[in-house]
Amino acid sequence: MSNATLKLKKREDRRLRAGHGWIFSNEIDTKVTPLKGLVAGESVNIVSDSGQLLGSAYVNPASLICARMISRHANKTLDRALLQERIQRAHGLRDQLYATGHYRLVYGDSDFLPGLVIDRFDDVLVVQSSTAGIDVVMDDVKDVLTELFDPEAIILRNDSGARDLENLERYTRVIHGDMPDKLRIEENGLRFEVPTTDSQKTGWFYDQQDNRRRLNRYVAGKSVLDVFSYAGGWGIHAAHYGARDVACVDASEAALESVKRNAELNSLDSFVRTIKGDAFEVLKHLKESGEMFDVVILDPPAFIKRKKDMDSGSIAYERLNKAGLQLVNDGGVLISCSCSHHMSADNLQRAILKAAQKSRHQLQILETGEQGPDHPVHPAIAETRYLKAFYCRVLNT
């Protein structure tokens, strides 16, 4: 059975021909192929204004991004067979890269499953759907994951703000097995636990795994400040790699309780302390009290979630980096991160440089980091490259 057809307006096929996978509602020639009458998740063929086939997509007529490509071939549908093929292929990559079952298993567009994210915590899988098209096939997703991994539990964390753009409700529930009390993580030889329900995103930030491993050359015998610490991913790595004192800062009491628990799990609690409070206020207080550190790590949430927030977000990154730089000992290291895909690496470097100029520091950029290979970048979809990390030597010259 052939898919329905959506025809693009003139010259609206350029982005798709370049490899991108999103189609906006204002790019459709609705006079010829109306969106009305299509249902969310329905498969369609996409053709150019001249009638040339561009591939298959699934639709949501109620969303600004009204279609997402699933194949460059005609009459493909996001059915169980296609889901199984794509998830198996994604697993094959991670199985090659990681010694344990702790990683991002599926990363949306980059794994050619737009709208679907799956994080693996060994025998527990945490799934996020950000589109109506994925919601429609969630039973198939569950069946494929059950068949491939025989997990103890599959948790659906559909509480992302991205769902608002598709007019979808937010919720969390277990769709297979029983809800575990904690998610358990193994990373770079360390063990972590976070509460299953009272946790950020899908529970863990696997994207920073490689960047945290890079700490091993900077922190031995040093004092370390981990700002926006969450459950202690950076700080506990620092203690593991030989830091003599680690202070973890977060506004969440639950997060700091996880820091303490994770430090104990790794027999590092004598090296790790916590500071509760707003990051900017804590940094200000530390400066006023004269406390300094050899390594300061800044890993904030996204300050720029929408393009229109670019100016205010850039100022926030600059303010944060200035506050952090003022606490770094001469010759120490600032590690500055951004997970805002709107904030390019060049723009983050510019914000760090402005902060250094205003705080009268000189910098040497020693190395940079991106998201790990379990978050592969789709070369035609800039939005899939979002994480930046700068390792900067700080000099008072």
Catalytic residue ranges: 339
Through-space distance between the first and last CA atoms of the chain, rounded to whole angstroms: 71
* Core vs surface per residue 302-337: b (16+ CB within 10 A) or e: ebbeeeebeeebbebbbbbbbbbbbbbeeebbbbbb
Helix, strand, coil % over all residues of the chain, rounded to 5? 35, 30, 35
Strands 124-129, 153-158: pairing is: parallel
The alpha carbons of the chain give a radius of gyration, in whole angstroms, of 23
Q: How many other CB atoms are found less than 10 A from the CB of residue 397?
A: 6
Q: What's the rounded Cα separation, in Å, for the pair 282 and 358?
A: 20
Tokens matching residue 197: 């329900």
- Tell me the three state secondary structure of residue 66: strand
Cβ burial of 174 (10 Å; 0-12, 13-18, 19+) is middle
